[in-house]
Amino acid sequence: MNNYKQFKQMFLAQLKLTLREKQAWFWGIFFPVILMVIFMVIFSGDSSDEFQSKVAIVDENQNSTSETMLAGLKQIPVLEVKTDQTVSQEKATEWVKEQEVDAAIILPASKEATSIELIVNKENEQNASTQVVAGVLDKFVQQANLSAAGAAPIYEVQFESVSSGNNELDYTDFLLTGMIALAIAQGGLFGMVDLVEMRRKGLIKRLRMTPAKMGIFGLSDMVMRLLFSIIQIILLSLIGVFIFGANLYINILSLIVIFLIGALSFNALGYFISAFSKTTEAYMGVANIISFLMMFLSGVFFPIESMPEWLQPVSNILPLTYFAEGLRDSMVYDTSILSSSLWFGVGNMAIWGGVAFIIGSWLYKRKSIVATR
């Protein structure tokens, strides 16, 4: 019962310290919420909306060939013709220069002409819209050639979209789980700042001189931070699902394992940073650098595959990479607890957390011995 009373008193003390620590609340709760809302508003458009490129069509010398091609181009769904009527080449070129359209298509000037000209803006030559127009027009010309030769197409491409989840997934689902991982990670990285103040003021040294058990002190702190992380995951999930329409297909066992290992690992990293930080400012500076690097290199906002190839090996060793992927597996893809990829990520995070905790404990113990000499 004495141990229970100690745990209760220390847990309440840790809770009060956390409630008073505005920086931990900001980085752990408000910053991830603000960041998630900004990214979702910008990038989470309805994925079912059909992509279109705006074009202008020039047909200054109308003939039977140009009329046939014009009718065919207007039937292509991804091409949005700026005006119902064709325009002059001068006008179309002006629209391309001013980027009012993605491209201008100049139809054959005579029945015997054999080419279609495409005008694009040089500054946007490599963007998606321009590439779409060029690709569609190339396919259109190929079909026209087959038709002119009287040949019927033999081969065709059949498109199928698959997912390891139960339903179609979009960027909102990807971003939500990434932001939950980031929030919990930052809660651990920034949440140990109170230990720096306690050591600086001599409170930890005084605590060692009392009958209180340091193991119970550490346990109470760990439980309090796990509760803090649970608040993070619930709050962000509610915002993502009910405000932005995210889809969650949760495997409870997988989520519990990933959540516990991930939260404890980042708490250990925060503990490690606090072990060698002499001031709050130094602690926050190191935590900010680590958080900033992992934020953009761990696939929180965009898939790692979209990064430069030389940078991907760095991403593949960071703990936040596997925490974010683990949360996606357990919250979006409904991945089984028996998945080998899930346990590979768990192992990576456990190594990071275990090494950080061991080194941090050694540093605390070393400083304690030096302080008593």
Cβ burial of 338 (10 Å; 0-12, 13-18, 19+) is exposed
- Containing 93, the helix (H) or strand (E) segment is helix 89-97
pLDDT-derived band of residue 211, with 50, 70 and 90 as boundaries? low
CA 294 from centroid of its chain's CA atoms: 11
Residue type, 13: A
- Residues 264-289 have pLDDT tens digits of 899 889 889 988 888 888 888 998 89
Query: Which range scores top for mean pLDDT: 48-62, 71-85, 130-144?
Result: 71-85
Rounded Cα distance between 93 and 103, Å, is 9
- CB-based contacts of 176: which residues, under 8 Å, 6+ apart? 36, 40, 236, 237, 240, 241, 244, 246, 248
Element (H, E) at 11: helix 2-20
CATH of domain 53-149: 3.40.1710.10
**Beta partners for 105?**
57, 118
Percent of the chain predicted with pLDDT > 70: 77
d(CA 117, CA 107) in angstroms, rounded, equals 7
Q: For residue 151, give the DSSP letter.
A: P
pLDDT tier for residue 372 given thresholds of 50, 70 and 90: very low
Instruction: Supply the pLDDT for residue 110.
Output: 80
**Segment among 108-112, 205-209, 272-276, 358-362 with least mean pLDDT:** 205-209
pLDDT in tens, 59-109: 888 888 778 788 877 777 778 887 777 888 888 888 888 888 888 888 888
Domain regions of the chain by residue span: 2-45+168-372, 53-149
Residue 87, SS3 per DSSP: strand
DSSP-assigned states of every residue in 190-215: HHTHHHHHHHHTTHHHHHHTSS--HH
Could you give the percent of the chain with pLDDT greater than 90? 12
- Residue 213 token pair: 């058990």
Average pLDDT, stretch 143-155?
66
Cα–Cα nearest to 355, from 249, 292, 271, 286: 271
H or E element in which residue 97 lies: helix 89-97
Q: Nearest to residue 215, comparing CAs of 12, 361, 349, 369?
A: 361
Contact 27, 186 (CB under 8 A): yes
Confidence of residue 120 (pLDDT cuts 50, 70, 90): confident
Nearest one of 299, 314, 317, 286 to 189, comparing CA atoms: 286
**pTM for the whole structure:** 0.66
